[in-house]
Structure 1
């Protein structure tokens, strides 16, 4: 606030208590100009053309071990029906107790994430650390939409 003295009709000086906003506007305009100049400099805009990575499918064992989790949460190791309590036994039989055997997990897309992790934890606790996840390839999905039967990956 600024106070000025002005003359009254009686030649007496009285105090003027109006707010002077001119310095405030000046400061705001200077800040606006600074931000208009600094904002484009603060963003990083480096044009990069990223390559497309298309990896070949890894080599798989001749007789892979699959664990299947159906939409009703039933489990099977290969073609053998099992449950969560017997899973580590049936996996041990299917792998002949070779802990370095890669195990593939197939799960229905409606299976809750917690049940999927439960299977992973059972495998990890039993020493099976090489676990692969099975999903559909985009080419298979496109073939299915085109009318030809999809190739099943076993």
Structure 2
């Protein structure tokens, strides 16, 4: 059938002899991808809500929020036996007074003691005694982690 200059084929004419009328083997994956993206977004939004646990109505309080822990007071002794509070050198006879003053300013601040590996153990213990003499009970020794040896096959 011809309508003006345009040919319309019904699929049964001689023009379509090279084409087969079998099923199309291509699958359109666009709707599948669209559905998967929507499901992904739904689960991304819903997942944090599922981890809340048992719903409870918490009581209200006038108490202040807890503060973050104080940064530690770092006390170091180098290989020459010189003492440092932070990066400031301090004399041994003034150490207890300085630690007492720092403890009054920041009562919750712990003290981290860093000692050079060549300093005798007795000197480190003497230094820790000075820290407890200043009224500080939260004292920690700082050390480096050992390098792990590579496993042998």
Q: Output the TM-score relative to the length of structure 1.
A: 0.47
The structure that has the greater radius of gyration is 2
Higher RCO (Cα < 8 Å, 6 or more apart) = 2
